[in-house]
Amino acid sequence: MKENKIAVIIAEGGSEKTFLTGLLQSTYSFTPITDKGPICFKKEGGDQIWLFPVPHLGKIHAGGNNILLTEDPYIKAETVLLSHSHIYSKHPSIHYYVLTDTDGVPKEKIIEREKLIKEASAKANIEYTTFEVHFPHQEIETWFMAGVKDEFPHFSKTGGEELELVVNDLENLIDPKEFMDKILNPSISGNRMDIGAQVGRYFDINKAKNKSPSFKRFIASLEEKDLL
């Protein structure tokens, strides 16, 4: 029996989860294998498993710090992973991915944040094969807009045309979240979880890799580890 390869995803918001689970199912032939959430997905006919163990974190911990800089989410993630041990092999490779927005901070601040996140995970004393931090430039909505297909059914009347004007310069948008709300129908605009889910179903991977360097790095890492 081949050993499983597990991607453990920890993100600040819920839209990252809904986006990625939509993408896994629509593009990569993954199906949910638990009925609570669902938080766990397995590739049909493959040995890849994705786990989303921690609910919407938000950025602020009760102590006033960014929760990703504390041990809590990593300890909780490993606890959930171990509680699902019946669905994976005895010696899987475990690959942690932390997704957090850059929020427009300078590069040196991003490097410092990555260092602090890795220090927090080390203090949590969790077991893994690899541990990476990925930063959607500005906000996760930059990834959404980089790859959303032209036939996306939730654009406003002129939304698709407005996106086309900026799609080659997305990483210079001052407020990607605000711009994305502007180009969507009012019925979905502002609903972060629903937007993520819908975009995941109408997403062009190759287009996104061309338009967003940060998304390209994320996908390249997943492909290198055979997690897709």
CA atoms within 13 A on the CB side of 135: 19
Coil/strand/helix, residue 48:
strand
Sign of CA dihedral 23, 177, 59, 216: positive
- Domain residues for the domain of 47 are 5-224
Say which range, 11-15, 27-31, 94-98, 223-227, has the weakest mean pLDDT.
11-15
Q: What is the pLDDT of residues 81-125, one digit of tens each?
A: 999 999 999 999 999 999 998 877 888 999 999 999 999 999 999
Sort 139 into a burial class: Cβ within 10 Å, 0-12 / 13-18 / 19+.
buried
pLDDT category, 21, cuts 50, 70, 90?
very high
pLDDT category, 66, cuts 50, 70, 90?
confident
In 3D space, the residue among 23, 14, 1 whose CA is nearest the CA of residue 222 turns out to be 23
Coil/strand/helix, residue 155:
strand
Angstrom distance (rounded) from CA 77 to CA 126: 9
The total domain count for the chain is 1
What length is written for the chain? 228
What local confidence, expressed as pLDDT, does residue 16 receive? 93
Q: What is the pLDDT of residues 133-163, one digit of tens each?
A: 999 988 999 999 999 999 999 999 999 999 9
Angstrom distance (rounded) from CA 71 to CA 36: 24
Q: Structure pTM? A: 0.94
Angstrom distance (rounded) from CA 215 to CA 221: 10
CA R_g for the chain: 17
Taking all residues of the chain, what is their mean pLDDT, rounded to a whole number?
Answer: 91
pLDDT category, 64, cuts 50, 70, 90?
very low
In 3D space, the residue among 39, 5, 45, 46 whose CA is nearest the CA of residue 20 turns out to be 39
Task: Give the percent of the chain with pLDDT over 90.
Answer: 77
CA angle 104, 224, 169 (to 5 degrees): 30
Pairing of β 40-43 and β 30-32:
antiparallel
